[in-house]
Amino acid sequence: MDYTVVFYQDENGCSQPLDYLKSLNRKHEAKAKKWLTLLQEYGPNLPRPYADVLERNVRELRPAIEHHQHRFLYVICGKTILITNAFLKKTQVAPKSEIERSKRTFANWLRRKGD
């Protein structure tokens, strides 16, 4: 049961999570893309260590590469998986600011989608 993975773009067409992905070195980018493909295939059924639920609607894709804890936060809306933001995790838990950013981004996407 495939899902559609969409990288959030703001009103100007900029995509922070896609820019983050492209900024990774080749090896890290390849592994992250592999995990994104798994997310597309399994959706909400993708288990740990690949993905986890942070809050009710906010989830994280968790590619760990050479001790680098990359995180791609996403929200599932029907058959669409919206990648809202991405970052290098440096603490034990995902920063609350990144979770809040994901929520704001999703709300903005829903509002614009309804226009």
Mapped onto helix, strand or coil, the DSSP state of residue 99 is helix
Query: What pLDDT score was predicted for residue 1?
Result: 67
Q: Tell me the domains of the chain and their CATH numbers.
A: 4-114 (3.30.2310.20)
Structure tokens at 6: 């969409």
pLDDT per residue as tens, the chain (115 positions): 699 999 999 999 999 999 999 999 999 999 999 999 999 999 999 999 999 999 999 999 999 888 899 999 999 999 999 999 999 999 999 999 999 999 999 999 999 987 6
pLDDT at 115: 60
Query: For the whole model, what pTM was predicted?
Result: 0.95
DSSP 7-55: E---TTS--HHHHHHHHS-HHHHHHHHHHHHHHHHHGGGPPTTTEEESS
In this structure, are residues 62 and 50 in contact, taking their beta carbons and an 8 Å threshold?
yes
